[in-house]
Structure 1
Amino acid sequence: MYRSRVAGTGSYLPPGVLTNADLEKMVETNDQWIVERTGIKRRHMASSDQACSDLSLIAAENALKDAGLTAQDLDAIIVCTVSGDQVMPSTACVLQHKLGARNIMAFDLSAACSGFVYGLSVADQFIRTGVYKHVLVVGAEVLHRFVNYQDRETCILFGDGAGAWILSRTSTEDKNVIMSSHLHADGGLGDLFVLPAGGSKIPFSAEVLENKGQYVRMKGREIFKNAVRTMSHCCQEALDANEMTADQVDWLIPHQANNRIIEAIAEYYEFPKEKVVVSVHETGNTSAASIPLAFQMAKDDGRVKRGQVILLTAFGAGLTSGSLLMRY
């Protein structure tokens, strides 16, 4: 058995920005209402000619550069997204071609906002068992194209972006490794957050467009309660599995959905606010991209450093959830 280390990281936020002031002109809302309930001040928006694979490409290239590798070194590509370029082929296959990678395994993983933690866990298993040496894991979303900007409950939340990590094989003696990951799903609560149309159950039609079935729908209060409960459980699971306590964690990096959710989780564990990475004010909810984007911001400004213990946790449609504990 081998272990996995984070060899390189990268991210990309498209330059287009949608502020709360912009939203005030589009729907009945205001900056104070949005900030008090979500903490979000602005979101980045992909341009009309940018697809999910385009954002993924820039983040992946940055991660490869950080790792000192080229696309030819990759053994597998996992793109975690719910807003891929198209139903088929996968965005991972499109990204493989754009990167100029070899004829390697490439697939999309759909676990919504938990996608990046799911993807890291899958990549970790391939590396631990000796199948692959270098795996690219990307979390990328162009969510604004699935948002109804007449629905103030959802349109204030979502933004676009991409983050990428390279997981590489290392020895069992290496201390800076992924320690464990813990994944869950509760399909019985799947109706709390849905994108109704576009699949085999409800294919696109004139009726779908008339009923706005192509846009995300969510039950906010129920999502909030389940997010806090489930992510707290996943964090405790990771700590217990590694016989650690919360005070031994240098950084908690949760999915950036809502500042009130993040604060509730931190309060549960009595994490000092200064040990919780928050980027939701700048990015909004970027689903599978949110954790790597938040990580990269903290790494770039010097907060996150090699050798630190970092706890990731996420919650998303499905309902999916998960955590991952690592020493970076």
Structure 2
Amino acid sequence: MSSGQAATAVIAGIGACLPERMVKNEEVSARLGLPDDWIRDRTGIEQRYVIEPTGATSDLAVGAGRQALDSCGNPDVDFVLLATCTPDQTFPATAPAVAARLGLKGVAAFDVNAACSGFIYALTIASSMIQAGAFRSGLVIGAEAVTASVDPHDQITAPVFGDGAGAVVLRRGGPGEPGAVLSQVMGSDGDLLDILVTPAGGSRQRAAGVPTDIPESYLRMQGRLVYKYAVKHMTAASETVLAQTGWKPEDVDWLVAHQANRRILTATARAIGVPAERAVVNVDRVANTSAASIPLALVDAMAEGRLSPGDRILFCAFGGGITWAAATLVWPDLPPAAAPAPPVPAASAV
């Protein structure tokens, strides 16, 4: 590459990880005292994967990260970014442990917490790090063990969330090379923090001088407000990046949005102007996996043969904070996606 050409960061590999335990709606409905079709009718979700009680987010991240590295010949990478809002512990970050377990000791590693928008945030940050010239390649992982922070008896949150991880390898590429983020937008509104929040576990709860209450340790969600603001901000962010890229809605081959629930996905696609059949949907099979949802949806779409080199992809997401993000890219030529790997227990670390 000549000195006059700007570097890009392109996707070179992809991987996924799902827990081995799959939980159907019937099990959740029985626990919550709901009719069998209640969850499917309101969310479009039919099943989810749940990590074992001895497992953690890092186990999922290592599984997805290992598969992504394997998919492109196990290149040396210079950094690991882990998008998660369910780290193994509040301190320190989980990314360094994931990097070490992948045999990547000594590389830069840190967590990115933008909740369900985290994967696009991390992808944008990682792309910028490579484009700036300081790094040649990196591993971006979205991993969540959300069910560990959900009240199993809460009718609002218990049916909606699942666990999983997805990862991509980025490498330095040339100008215009497929697989690079073309345009991106990120935003937030902290005044709406309370619509998606886990009150306990941080300095705010401790500073209040109140003993931790078990319910305060669970994720709280105001569903109606989440629906309202998710559709609003994912639509607006998508319109912005489409304009920046020079695309119209009809130019989009695939909308890969955060898999919150089917109603939000359908409403967002309609508002953007992308036909429903061009929206990748796997929320019915994996539920809402927060920062893992977009890479998991990509792997599903690849496995089904829906993604082709040159396809124009629109990403968008919304999460707690509140946060939102969108990005565009042209899909690269990648090897076929493997079936999601199982979690890698700490004792079995690479």
Normalising by the smaller structure, the TM-score range is over 0.9
Q: Deviations over 1:264-308 (max 9, x none)?
A: 011113322221100100111100000100111001111112221
**Paired residues of 2:29 and 2:39 also in contact (CA < 8 A):** no
Give the superposed CA RMSD: 1.5
Looking at structure 2, the residues matched to 31 and 135 of structure 1 have their Cα atoms a distance apart, in angstroms, of 44
Deviation of the 1:34 alpha carbon: 1.0
1:327 aligns with 2:319: no
Deviation of the 1:104 alpha carbon: 1.2
Query: 1:181-200, aligned counterparts within 5 Å?
Result: 181-200=184-203
Q: Tell me what 2:47 maps to.
A: 42
Query: 1:1-328, aligned counterparts within 5 Å?
Result: 1-70=6-75, 73-203=76-206, 207-210=211-214, 212-328=215-331
Deviation of the 1:89 alpha carbon: 2.4
Looking at structure 2, the residues matched to 33 and 138 of structure 1 have their Cα atoms a distance apart, in angstroms, of 33
Report the secondary structure of 1:208's partner residue: coil
**Paired residues of 1:23 and 1:30 also in contact (CA < 8 A):** no
Question: 2:34 is matched by which residue type in structure 1?
Answer: T
Report the secondary structure of 1:237's partner residue: helix
**Paired residues of 2:252 and 2:274 also in contact (CA < 8 A):** no
Question: 1:9 is matched by which residue type in structure 2?
Answer: I
Q: Tell me what 2:348 maps to.
A: none
**Paired residues of 1:20 and 1:30 also in contact (CA < 8 A):** no
Deviates more, 1:23-32 or 1:183-192: 23-32
Deviation of the 1:173 alpha carbon: 4.2
Looking at structure 1, the residues matched to 28 and 151 of structure 2 have their Cα atoms a distance apart, in angstroms, of 12
**Paired residues of 1:259 and 1:280 also in contact (CA < 8 A):** yes
Deviation of the 1:40 alpha carbon: 0.5
Report the secondary structure of 2:203's partner residue: coil
**Paired residues of 2:178 and 2:329 also in contact (CA < 8 A):** no
Question: 2:30 is matched by which residue type in structure 1?
Answer: K
Question: 1:209 is matched by which residue type in structure 2?
Answer: D
Count of residues in correspondence between the two structures: 325
Looking at structure 2, the residues matched to 173 and 322 of structure 1 have their Cα atoms a distance apart, in angstroms, of 22
Unaligned runs of 5+ in 2: 1-5, 332-350
The structure 1 segments of at least 4 consecutive aligned residues displaced by more than 3 Å after TM superposition are 203-207
Looking at structure 2, the residues matched to 306 and 61 of structure 1 have their Cα atoms a distance apart, in angstroms, of 23
Deviation of the 1:312 alpha carbon: 0.6
Looking at structure 1, the residues matched to 210 and 62 of structure 2 have their Cα atoms a distance apart, in angstroms, of 34
Deviation of the 1:207 alpha carbon: 4.3
Looking at structure 1, the residues matched to 235 and 282 of structure 2 have their Cα atoms a distance apart, in angstroms, of 19
**Paired residues of 2:259 and 2:288 also in contact (CA < 8 A):** yes
Report the secondary structure of 2:106's partner residue: coil
Looking at structure 2, the residues matched to 176 and 280 of structure 1 have their Cα atoms a distance apart, in angstroms, of 24
Give the TM-score normalised by structure 2: 0.90
Deviation of the 1:133 alpha carbon: 1.1
Looking at structure 1, the residues matched to 54 and 317 of structure 2 have their Cα atoms a distance apart, in angstroms, of 30
Q: Deviations over 1:201-222 (max 9, x none)?
A: 1149994334x11000011111
Q: Deviations over 1:210-238 (max 9, x none)?
A: 4x110000111111000001000011011
Kindly, what percent of the aligned residue pairs are identical? 38
Looking at structure 1, the residues matched to 222 and 29 of structure 2 have their Cα atoms a distance apart, in angstroms, of 22
Q: Deviations over 1:176-214 (max 9, x none)?
A: 42101110011111111100000011149994334x110
Looking at structure 1, the residues matched to 308 and 142 of structure 2 have their Cα atoms a distance apart, in angstroms, of 21
